[in-house]
Amino acid sequence: MRKTRPGGRTARTRALVFAAVEALLEEKDPGAISMVEIAGKAGVAATSLYRRWGDARSLLTEVAVGALTREAPLPDTGSLREDLRAWARTIAATLSDPQKSIFFRVYVGAVPRSDKEAVGRARALRTRLQQIDAMLERARMRGEVNLNPLEVTDHLLAPLYMRALFGAPADADFAEGLVDYLLQGDHGAYVNVADVS
C-alpha cells in the first residue's frame, strides 16, 4: 500500500504553488512574501501550504532550487573553448537581469538548518556538476585540455555569479575573457569532484 500520493491533485497543487511563488518573486522581496499571499495567488488553502512546507522560507528555497536545476543543457559544439564561451555568455546575459539572479539570492540567503538540509542542497546542484563533468570528459576524449569541474566552478562560475550578487557588470567580453583565463592556467592540482558532492 502506498504511503503517499504524488500524482494527480498533489502534483497539480504543487505546480500552482510554485508558479505563484515565482510570480510573486517577480514583484516583491522574498522576505516579504507570506504563506497567505502565496495561497491566495495559487488558489489554494493556506493551511495546505503550512502542512506541506512548514514555513515560507522552506517553500521559497524549494522553488529556488527547482528553478536553478532546470537550466538549459550545456553547449556541445565540438570544442571545449567554444562550449565554455557559449555557456559563459549565456550566464552573463541571464544574470544581467537582476530579476534572474533572484533565485540564486534566495538559495544562498537561506542558511542550511541541518546537515540533512545541507546535503539536500548539495545534491540539487550535483546534476549540474555532472553535466559539467560530461562536457569536460568530451574534451578529454578529443585530446583537449584536461580540466576538472571545480576549476570551472571556481574560475568561471564563481566570478560571474559573484558579480551578479554585487551588481558589478559582467558582459560577454568579460565572460569570454574568463574562459581564456581558465584555459591557460596551470591545471596540475586535480581536485576530486567528490569533495563537493
Partner DNA sequence: TCCTTAATGCTAATTAATTTGCATTAGAGC
Partner DNA sequence: GCTCTAATGCAAATTAATTAGCATTAAGGA
Binding site for DNA (CB under 7 A): 1-10, 13-14, 34-37, 43-48, 50-52, 55-56
With contacts defined by CB under 8 A, name the span among 36-44, 72-80, 86-94, 171-179 that binds a copy of itself: 171-179
Is position 128 an interface residue for a copy of itself (rule: CB under 8 A)?
Answer: no
Interface of this chain with a copy of itself, residues 11 to 30, rule: CB under 8 A? 29-30
Chain centroid, CA 174 distance in Å: 21
Is position 166 an interface residue for a copy of itself (rule: CB under 8 A)?
Answer: yes
Binds 35: which of a copy of itself, DNA, none (CB < 5-8 Å by kind): DNA
Is position 165 an interface residue for a copy of itself (rule: CB under 8 A)?
Answer: yes
The CB-of-158 to a copy of itself minimum distance in angstroms stands at 4
Contacts from 169-172 at CB under 8 Å and sequence distance 24+? 169/96, 170/92, 170/95, 170/96, 171/92, 171/96, 172/89, 172/92, 172/93
The CB-of-38 to DNA minimum distance in angstroms stands at 10
Q: How far is CA 90 from CA 47, 97, 116, in A?
A: 40, 12, 32
Q: How far apart are CA 129 and CA 149, in angstroms?
A: 7
Find the binder of a copy of itself among 10, 45, 77, 113 (CB under 8 A). Answer: 113
Q: How far apart are CA 17 and CA 62, in angstroms?
A: 11
Is position 112 an interface residue for a copy of itself (rule: CB under 8 A)?
Answer: yes
Sorted by sequence, the CB contacts under 8 Å of residue 88 that are 6+ apart come out as 156, 160, 175, 176, 178, 179
Q: Which amino acid is present at 27?
A: E
With contacts defined by CB under 8 A, name the span among 12-20, 45-53, 72-80, 184-192 that binds a copy of itself: 184-192
**8's grid cell:** 494527480
The CB-of-99 to DNA minimum distance in angstroms stands at 22
Find the binder of a copy of itself among 1, 72, 111, 141 (CB under 8 A). Answer: 111
Q: How many angstroms separate the most distant Cα atoms in the chain?
A: 58
Is position 149 an interface residue for a copy of itself (rule: CB under 8 A)?
Answer: no
